[in-house]
Chains A and B, each alone.
Chain A
Amino acid sequence: MNDQLKARFDAETKGHAIVLYMKGNALFPQCGFSARALELLRPFGAVHTVDVLADAEVRNGIKEYTNWPTIPQIFINGKFVGGSDILMELSERGELADLVAGKSPA
């Protein structure tokens, strides 16, 4: 991955408490997993969304950046949390609020 793209991801993921790399945007999610991730995150604050379908470099780059093979990808407080399965599990365990508040390692 080039330095410019890595710098972009660094800034983007640290610049907002909750960042969601998704297929489609908040108004029109293009994938059920992305839509579900957005709904799970919304109660915990503003979600900064990035549409990976708008830019192939971002779509491929984010997978390399996290070494994680699928979209959506969720960052909370600058830290990679995982994809939709992990988000769902954290939600069921009731750990999302603490994670957003910076109280849990997740």
Chain B
Amino acid sequence: MLDAEMLRQRLLEALPGSEVELRDTTGTGDHFEARIVSPAFAGRTMVEQHQLVYAPLQAWLKTGELHALALKTYSPEQWKKLGPR
């Protein structure tokens, strides 16, 4: 079973220098929500930002170990302007 810390570590490896907050929304280890602020997101569309997050999690998504991940993504500049809300 996955836990928030496993996802967080994987995301930090793929997106160094990011701030990653994760929550298991159902307590069942397969539904999570994440808020990620990453320099890698600068100048990217939201679709591209989300694809950067899904890429390192692909294996878990394919097996269904990770069923759902609700995402909020921000570049540092966007976070300065928009968050925290």
Residues of chain A having any CB pair with chain B under 8 Å = 67-68, 79-82, 85-86, 89-90, 93, 105-106
Contact = CB atoms under 8 A, between A and B. Distances in A.
Interface stretch (B2-10, B13-21, B44-52): B44-52
Interface string B55-85: 0000000000000001110000000001000
Contacts, number: 24
Contacts of A80: 47
B68 to A, nearest CB: 10
Contacts of A89: 46, 72
A105 B72 CA distance: 17
Given A82-B50, A86-B50, A93-B82, A105 B71 contact: no
Contacts of B72: 89
A82 B47 contact: yes
B71 A85 contact: yes
Interface residues of B, number: 10
A106 B73 CA distance: 12
Contacts of A82: 45-47, 50
Interface of B: 43, 45-47, 50-51, 70-72, 82
Contact of A86 (B43, B47, B82): B47
Contacts of B46: 81-82, 86, 89-90, 106
24 contacts: A67-B51, A68-B47, A79-B45, A80-B47, A81-B45, A81-B46, A81-B47, A82-B45, A82-B46, A82-B47, A82-B50, A85-B70, A85-B71, A86-B46, A86-B47, A86-B50, A89-B46, A89-B72, A90-B46, A93-B82, A105-B43, A105-B45, A106-B45, A106-B46
